[in-house]
Chain A
Amino acid sequence: MPKRFVAIWFRHLTTDRMVRRRPELKGTAFVLAATERGRMVIKASSIAAQAQGIHVDMVVADCRAIMPTLQVFDDKPGQAEKLLNALAEWCLRYTPVVAIDLPDGLILDVSGCAHLWGGEQAYLKDILIKLNNYGYNIRAAMADTVGTAWAISRYGQIKPIIESGGQVEALLPLPAAALRLEAGILAKLDKLGLYQVRSFIKMPRTALRRRFGQELLSRLDQALGQEIEALQPIRPIEPYQERLPCMDPIRTATGIEIAIRKLLEKLCERLTKESKGLRTCVLKAYRVDNNIQQIDIGTNRASRNVEHLFKLFEIKIVRIEPDLGIELFILEAPIVEELTSAQDALWNSAGKHNDMRIAELLDSIAGKVGIAAIHRYLPDEHYWPERSVKLASSLEEKAITNWREDIPRPVHLLSKPEAIEVTVPIPDYPPMLFRYKGKLYNVSKADGPERIEQEWWIEKGLYRDYYCVEDEHGARYWLFRLGHYDSGEPKWFIHGFFA
């Protein structure tokens, strides 16, 4: 899945905030200023003030000359950052990965989030409307890379959502400043007349590097998605991982057991707090000689039961070769699922308690002999014997149809029907005797035929006429004739044994 990012640009972050706190300022010209080298310098100006030509970095005294009614407020240092932090927290409703982009923006990693709002259009619209209602004048854009989203949010003219892979076309008409370049490089580009991205994007990379340095190239790569740009989310996603360094290298199984137990207790404590359960767990043992030993377990159902998980690990401890000793254990849970305590209690209550213990038993069996050995069957709506059962995908899967009782089915079914020789008196009659594996069987009783047609939409082939026969000793067999009697020499097969 391609990554998607949203860049939000707060065009008047601090002044909008001021208006939010003092609504009477709305629409008036005011600035926020701070002392710099003994004079008041403007740090932010309201929309009305900007319309009068009052911009950031101007001296307040000059501005008063332009506009005598200008209101001046103190700018608190660090306020923008605090404000962005609060807004980023608010944006966690849209995605778990939100990063602050100083001085006046936010970057959201929205990969796989937009569909929850009914598409990217609706998603972006929701952000815009909500923040606008709070009084913030914002622009936002969505793209595959942070760089492009940033550029479009600041300089884009056409559309805010750049579809996957459309970074190049979107960037071409934008000014060079859209690439987040330093002032020095921008000045150089400007001097050479390279105002737009399109005028230098096709130039040889070596030439660009020589003239403008590596930064231009890496910014360009970041915007195009050729270089990965790491975000620093405000709430880092902590991996489910526990570490246990050892004072002395551990070489015994008992020592490893103690380590696993300690790590599991810590991990399960955290899982309980976050009402989660783990599905897979990996133990890495770092040996003194820099070798890493690894064992992993999986569970059929999310679990945070220390005893159970420990038992699963216990089976595999023999696979660890401690050699000279292990100095560090790391326990990771790569796959974690929701498991509320209510669910936990539910499983523990009378009837379901057994289910959980069976699931735990199957976990340990799967750990020892492999999950492929465990089968559970459900009825399937086919008459063809080989297709009348299907494998269940999970322990909980319920049967949709009932098992048939009205048609006789053998207790033992041969995985492949085996050819037999028969003597048949009249067409469509059961055989009188048959030879199977060199032994002759005299049929004394017989029942049938039960004709089962081949399901032509699945497989081509002849139908089968099944007969239940009993030999003189009382053993019961399931035989069938393939195809019609008239078609030359019909073939006979044995397919099963009745109880």
Chain B
Amino acid sequence: MVSAAVKDDIIQQLKKELLSLQGYKRAAGEQVISFGLGPIEKAFPDRTFPVGAVHEFISNATEDAAATNGFIAGLLGKLMRQTGVCLWVSTKRSLFPPALKLFGITAERIIFIDLSRPKEALWTVEEALKCEALAAVVAEISELSFTESRRLQLAVEQSKVTGFIHRYNPRTENTVACITRWKIKPIASAIEEGMPGIGFPRWNVQLLKVRNGKPGAWQVEWSAGGFQHITSQGLSISTSEKRKAG
């Protein structure tokens, strides 16, 4: 009779083998960055948010775009930590730098490249993704073809830079070679009964596609400098960072 713990170990081992057969591998010396995404992390292969890959976000409304940029900023804050530098390439930027402080980013560490032509923007993104010195690259473009996304994916495979492509109002939601596809929408914030004002930002996070993982949908709140998962009972206590009072 094999005990349950040993069984779990064997299953984990087999899962890892499967992943490596499917072409997913993590570099030996790579540090694991904690994103504090809670249950969302279960959707990813090996239960860690994939860095060194290109993620795709799609938003259709202005409100969704703001929520998506908020979510990206939350991830960026964790990626850049204290000293990292990030490139924000955009064809139509309305991001307001002071807002980034809420997500733990001092905006002077982000270099904005504002371009009018999508072709130039794509070239810049590709060049930036090849530069290992950057922590991450964010691109706000609307159209991305499969071939173009392949080029970006090839660039990050060499350099291990994380890329976020935010597509606002794309003509079609075509297949691209990105590792994930996300849709973020704002949802009503929660405040204590009878109190005026607005609560912490809350989003409905949809993971539509993820390579070697399980897609799903979650509701998260950004508070106390991290993502907090929302369950039907309220905020989950299992998240890595406990919510601070106030």
Contacts from A to B (Cβ < 8 Å): 351, 353-355, 357-358, 361-362, 364-365, 368-369, 373-379, 385, 388-389, 392, 395, 398-399, 403-405, 409-415, 444-447, 468-470, 472-477, 496-499
B81 to chain A, nearest CB (A): 13
Asked if residues B187 and A474 are in contact (CB atoms below 8 Å), the reply is yes
Q: Which of B25-33, B107-115, B173-181 contacts A (4 or more CB under 8 A)?
A: B107-115
Contacts from B to A (Cβ < 8 Å): 61-63, 65-67, 69-71, 73, 83, 85, 87, 94-102, 106-108, 110-115, 120, 123-124, 127-128, 131-134, 185-189, 191, 196-199, 201-203, 222
User: A365-B113, A404-B98, A470-B189 are contacts. A498–B131 as well, Cβ < 8 Å?
Assistant: no
**Residue from B115, B128, B133, B201 within 8 A of A476 (CB atoms):** B201
Q: List 20 A-B contacts (CB under 8 A).
A: A355-B133, A358-B85, A358-B133, A369-B113, A369-B124, A379-B108, A409-B102, A411-B66, A411-B96, A445-B189, A445-B191, A446-B196, A446-B198, A447-B197, A447-B198, A474-B186, A475-B61, A476-B66, A477-B63, A499-B201
A475 to B120, CA, bound (A): 32
Question: In the complex, what residue of chain A is closest to B134 when comparing beta carbons?
Answer: A358
Q: Which residues of A contact B131 (CB under 8 A)?
A: 357-358, 361
Asked if residues B97 and A475 are in contact (CB atoms below 8 Å), the reply is no
Q: Which residues of A contact B127 (CB under 8 A)?
A: 361, 364-365
B123 to chain A, nearest CB (A): 7
A334 to B208, CA, bound (A): 54
A369 to B114, CA, bound (A): 10
User: A357-B133, A373-B115 are contacts. A403–B101 as well, Cβ < 8 Å?
Assistant: yes
Q: Which residues of B contact A409 (CB under 8 A)?
A: 96, 98-99, 102
Q: Which residues of A contact B61 (CB under 8 A)?
A: 475
B146 to chain A, nearest CB (A): 24
User: A358-B133, A399-B108, A403-B106 are contacts. A497–B62 as well, Cβ < 8 Å?
Assistant: yes
A365 to chain B, nearest CB (A): 6
A498 to B201, CA, bound (A): 8
A352 to chain B, nearest CB (A): 10
User: A498-B201, A499-B201 are contacts. A376–B111 as well, Cβ < 8 Å?
Assistant: yes
B136 to chain A, nearest CB (A): 13
Question: In the complex, what residue of chain B is closest to A366 when comparing beta carbons?
Answer: B113
Q: Which residues of A contact B108 (CB under 8 A)?
A: 376-379, 392, 398-399
B195 to chain A, nearest CB (A): 10
Question: In the complex, what residue of chain A is closest to B107 when comparing beta carbons?
Answer: A377
Asked if residues B66 and A447 are in contact (CB atoms below 8 Å), the reply is no
A354 to B199, CA, bound (A): 39
Q: Which residues of B contact A376 (CB under 8 A)?
A: 108, 110-112
Q: Which residues of B contact A413 (CB under 8 A)?
A: 94-96, 99
Q: Which residues of A contact B185 (CB under 8 A)?
A: 474
Asked if residues A403 and B98 are in contact (CB atoms below 8 Å), the reply is yes
Q: Which residues of B contact A362 (CB under 8 A)?
A: 111
Q: Which residues of A contact B199 (CB under 8 A)?
A: 445
**Residue from B62, B71, B120, B196 within 8 A of A447 (CB atoms):** B196
A398 to B197, CA, bound (A): 35
Main SS class of interface, B: mixed
Given contacts A355-B133, A389-B107, A475-B63, 5 further A-B contacts (CB under 8 A): A376-B112, A388-B98, A411-B73, A476-B66, A498-B201
Asked if residues A375 and B96 are in contact (CB atoms below 8 Å), the reply is no
Most B Cβ at <10 Å: residue of A353, A389, A475:
A475
User: A353-B133, A470-B189, A499-B186 are contacts. A412–B112 as well, Cβ < 8 Å?
Assistant: no
Asked if residues A412 and B188 are in contact (CB atoms below 8 Å), the reply is no
Most A Cβ at <10 Å: residue of B87, B99, B107, B187:
B99
A410 to B66, CA, bound (A): 8
Asked if residues A375 and B112 are in contact (CB atoms below 8 Å), the reply is yes
Asked if residues B106 and A498 are in contact (CB atoms below 8 Å), the reply is no
Q: Which residues of B contact A414 (CB under 8 A)?
A: 94
Q: Which residues of B contact A472 (CB under 8 A)?
A: 188
Q: Which residues of A contact B189 (CB under 8 A)?
A: 445, 470, 474, 476
Q: Which residues of A contact B198 (CB under 8 A)?
A: 445-447, 468-470, 476
A379 to B196, CA, bound (A): 30
Q: Which residues of B contact A368 (CB under 8 A)?
A: 120, 123-124
Q: Which residues of A contact B97 (CB under 8 A)?
A: 377, 389
Most B Cβ at <10 Å: residue of A368, A413, A415, A499:
A499
Asked if residues A411 and B133 are in contact (CB atoms below 8 Å), the reply is no
**Residue from B62, B63, B71, B133 within 8 A of A361 (CB atoms):** B133
A384 to chain B, nearest CB (A): 12
Question: What 5 A-B pairs are tightest by C-beta distance, nearest first?
Answer: A499-B70, A354-B133, A475-B63, A413-B96, A497-B66
A431 to chain B, nearest CB (A): 14
User: A409-B99, A445-B198 are contacts. A476–B107 as well, Cβ < 8 Å?
Assistant: no
A266 to chain B, nearest CB (A): 28
**Residue from A351, A364, A475 within 8 A of B186 (CB atoms):** A475
User: A354-B133, A374-B112 are contacts. A404–B101 as well, Cβ < 8 Å?
Assistant: yes
Q: Which residues of A contact B196 (CB under 8 A)?
A: 445-447
Asked if residues A497 and B63 are in contact (CB atoms below 8 Å), the reply is yes
Q: Which residues of B contact A497 (CB under 8 A)?
A: 62-63, 65-66
B201 to chain A, nearest CB (A): 5
A468 to B199, CA, bound (A): 11
B169 to chain A, nearest CB (A): 14
Q: Which residues of A contact B69 (CB under 8 A)?
A: 411-412, 499
B46 to chain A, nearest CB (A): 27
A444 to B197, CA, bound (A): 10
User: A354-B133, A498-B66 are contacts. A444–B99 as well, Cβ < 8 Å?
Assistant: no
A412 to B140, CA, bound (A): 13
Q: Which residues of B contact A445 (CB under 8 A)?
A: 188-189, 191, 196-199
Asked if residues A412 and B66 are in contact (CB atoms below 8 Å), the reply is yes
Asked if residues B186 and A369 are in contact (CB atoms below 8 Å), the reply is no
Q: Which residues of B contact A398 (CB under 8 A)?
A: 108
